[in-house]
C-alpha cells in the first residue's frame, strides 16, 4: 500500500524528541500560552523572515482574525480565488465581509487578468492562496494592490517555507495566515494555526483578538474571542520546525521524480512551476481527462490519491447565494480533471517509481 500521507511514520522518525517535548509541557503545566507558545512564535517568525508571529487555534481562525485586525469597512468586498479550501472564503464572510470569487489560471492560482476585472469601489482586500505550495505571482499582485489601494492577505496554509524571488511567503502581504492542521507540511498533533505580519499594530490587534480582547489578565479593551495555541501543540511544532526544510526538500525530490516520469505520459499535465519560486509541494496535483478511471486503477493497485478540490467554491451550495454559479469559472473545469498523488516525507524513491510505473501501465498497457 502506498499511502497518500503517513503521519505515523513521520512520528516514528522523531519519536524521542516529540515525547520529550510533550512531557516537558505537562511537567511545567504550560498548557495555554506560556513559554512553549512564545518560543514557537519566535522561531516561526524567524523561519518565515517576518517580525511577528501570533499562534492561534487553527488556520481558519488565523485567516478570520487577520481579516478582523485589518479593520476594513463593514461589508467590504474581498477577492478570493475560486479554487481553494472553503476556509479561505469562510473567513471573509465570518468577519462581516463579502466574498467575490476570482477565477484561477492554468497554474491553478489566482488569475491576474480576472482579478483586475473583479475590483469594484467596495473592494478592500485581495486574499491570495499559495495553493498546493506554489507561491502566487506576488510582484503583479502587489502592483495591483498598490494601484487600487487594497490590502493583501496571504493564505499560506499549504506553503510553509515556499519562496517567491528568494523570500518566504507570508512576508509579501499585509498579514498572513498559516495552518498547522496535522496533514500540512508543518503539522501539529491536533488543530493549530498562526498569523504572521511585519506590522506591529496588526500583531498587537491579533494578539488581543485571540485572547478575549486583552493583553493582560482582566483588562479587556474590546470583545475578542478564544483562539489560543496550546503549549503541547507549540512544543510539537518547535520540534517539527527543525525538520521542515529537510521534509520540504524531500517533497521537491519526490516531485522531480514524478515530473520526470510523468511528463510525456498520456494526456497528463504535470504541475506547472514558475522559475521565480521554491515550490514546497504540499500537494502534487496532475491533470488528465481520464482522472476518475486513473484513480480507480491506482486504488485497485493499492495507491491512494485525493482530489483538491472536487468542487470549485462558486459551485458549492454554501455559495449559491452569490449567484456565481451562473458565471463560468475555469476552476469548475479544472476540478473535473485533477488528482493529487501521494506526497510527503514518508515516500521512498521506490514508492514513487512504483506510482509512476502503475500510471504508465494505465496509459500504455
Ligand atoms: C488547511 C487550509 C486552511 C484551514 O486551516 P485549518 O487549520 O484546517 O483551519 C485554510 N486555507 C487553506 C488553503 C488550507 O489548505
pLDDT in tens, 241-273: 999 999 999 999 999 999 999 999 999 999 999
| Burial of 152 from C-beta contacts in 10 A (0-12 / 13-18 / 19+) | buried
How far does residue 127's CA lie from ligand 1's centre (Å)? 13
State the CB neighbour count (10 A cutoff) for residue 340.
20
Q: What percent of the chain has pLDDT over 70?
A: 99
In this prediction, residue 325 carries a pLDDT of 64
How far does residue 59's CA lie from ligand 1's centre (Å)? 5
Cα dist. 68→80, 81, 155, 206, 246 in Å?
16, 19, 15, 8, 35
In this prediction, residue 323 carries a pLDDT of 80
How far does residue 362's CA lie from ligand 1's centre (Å)? 33
Residue having the nearest C-alpha atom to atom 5 of ligand 1: 59
- The average pLDDT across 206-228 equals 94
Give the residue among 31, 11, 61, 6 at the shortest CA–CA distance from 189.
11
Q: Is the pLDDT of residue 8 over 70?
A: yes
- Ligand 1 neighbourhood includes 179 CB (under 6 angstroms): yes
- Ligand 1 neighbourhood includes 129 CB (under 6 angstroms): yes
Whole-angstrom distance, CA of residue 195 vs CA of residue 177 = 5
The residue assigned the cell 519562496 is: 163
How far does residue 196's CA lie from ligand 1's centre (Å)? 15
In this prediction, residue 326 carries a pLDDT of 74
How far does residue 246's CA lie from ligand 1's centre (Å)? 22
In this prediction, residue 209 carries a pLDDT of 97
- Ligand 1 neighbourhood includes 181 CB (under 6 angstroms): yes
Residue 33 backbone class (left: φ over 0; alpha: ψ -120 to 50; beta: rest): left
| Burial of 240 from C-beta contacts in 10 A (0-12 / 13-18 / 19+) | buried
Q: Are 301 and 206 in contact (CB under 8 A)?
A: no
Q: Is the pLDDT of residue 217 over 90?
A: no
In this prediction, residue 320 carries a pLDDT of 93
Residue 268 half-sphere exposure, CB side, CA atoms within 13 Å? 25
Q: Is the pLDDT of residue 34 over 80?
A: yes
Three-state SS for 14?
A: coil
- Ligand 1 neighbourhood includes 185 CB (under 6 angstroms): no
Q: Which of 57, 85, 159, 191 to mutate to test the pocket of ligand 1 (most atoms within 8 A of CB)?
A: 85
- The average pLDDT across 140-161 equals 98
pTM summary value:
0.98
In this prediction, residue 327 carries a pLDDT of 83
- Ligand 1 neighbourhood includes 84 CB (under 6 angstroms): yes
The mean pLDDT of the chain is: 97
Q: End-to-end CA distance of the chain: give it in Å, rounded.
A: 21
- Ligand 1 neighbourhood includes 158 CB (under 6 angstroms): yes
Query: Quick one: DSSP state of residue 110?
Result: B
Tens-digit pLDDT profile for residues 282-309: 999 999 999 999 999 999 999 999 999 9
**Residue 16 pLDDT class (50, 70, 90 cuts):** very high
In this prediction, residue 33 carries a pLDDT of 87
In this prediction, residue 18 carries a pLDDT of 98
Tens-digit pLDDT profile for residues 321-344: 998 767 899 999 999 999 999 999
Q: Which of 158, 159, 191, 193 to mutate to test the pocket of ligand 1 (most atoms within 8 A of CB)?
A: 158
Amino acid at each position: 500500500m502506498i499511502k497518500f500521507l503517513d503521519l505515523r511514520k513521520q512520528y516514528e522518525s522523531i519519536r524521542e524528541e516529540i515525547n520529550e517535548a510533550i512531557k516537558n509541557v505537562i511537567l511545567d503545566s504550560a498548557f495555554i500560552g506560556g513559554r512553549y507558545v512564545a518560543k514557537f512564535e519566535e522561531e516561526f517568525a524567524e523561519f518565515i523572515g517576518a517580525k511577528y508571529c501570533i499562534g492561534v487555534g487553527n488556520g481558519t481562525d488565523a485567516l478570520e482574525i487577520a481579516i478582523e485586525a485589518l479593520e476594513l469597512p463593514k461589508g467590504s468586498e474581498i477577492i478570493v480565488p475560486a479554487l481553494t479550501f472553503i476556509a479561505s472564503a469562510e473567513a471573509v464572510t465570518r468577519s462581516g465581509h463579502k466574498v467575490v470569487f476570482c477565477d484561477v489560471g492554468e497554474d491553478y492560482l489566482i488569475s491576474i487578468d480576472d482579478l483586475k476585472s473583479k475590483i469594484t469601489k467596495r473592494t478592500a482586500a485581495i486574499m491570495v492562496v499559495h495553493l498546493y505550495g506554489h507561491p502566487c505571482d506576488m510582484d503583479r499582485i502587489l502592483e495591483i494592490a498598490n494601484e487600487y489601494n487594497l490590502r493583501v492577505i496571504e493564505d499560506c496554509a499549504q506553503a510553509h517555507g515556499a519562496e517567491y524571488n528568494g523570500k518566504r511567503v507570508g512576508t509579501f502581504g499585509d498579514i498572513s495566515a498559516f495552518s498547522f492542521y496535522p496533514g500540512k507540511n508543518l503539522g501539529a498533533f491536533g488543530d493549530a494555526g498562526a498569523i504572521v505580519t511585519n506590522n506591529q499594530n496588526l500583531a498587537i490587534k491579533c494578539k488581543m483578538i485571540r485572547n478575549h480582547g486583552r493583553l493582560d489578565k482582566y483588562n479587556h479593551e474590546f470583545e475578542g474571542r478564544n483562539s489560543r495555541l496550546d503549549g503541547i501543540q507549540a512544543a510539537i511544532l518547535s520540534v517539527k520546525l527543525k525538520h521542515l526544510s529537510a521534509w520540504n526538500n524531500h517533497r521537491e525530490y519526490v516531485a522531480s521524480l514524478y515530473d520526470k516520469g510523468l511528463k510525456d505520459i498520456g494526456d497528463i499535465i504535470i504541475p506547472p512551476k514558475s522559475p521565480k519560486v521554491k515550490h514546497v509541494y504540499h500537494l502534487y496535483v496532475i491533470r488528465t481527462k481520464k482522472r476518475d478511471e486513473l484513480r480507480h486503477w491506482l486504488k485497485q493497485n493499492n495507491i491512494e490519491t485525493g482530489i483538491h478540490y472536487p468542487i470549485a467554491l462558486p459551485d458549492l451550495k454554501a455559495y449559491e447565494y452569490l449567484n456565481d454559479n451562473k458565471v463560468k469559472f475555469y476552476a469548475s473545469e479544472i476540478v473535473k480533471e485533477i488528482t493529487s498523488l501521494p506526497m510527503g516525507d514518508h515516500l521512498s524513491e521506490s514508492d514513487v517509481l512504483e506510482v509512476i510505473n502503475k500510471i504508465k501501465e494505465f496509459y500504455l498497457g
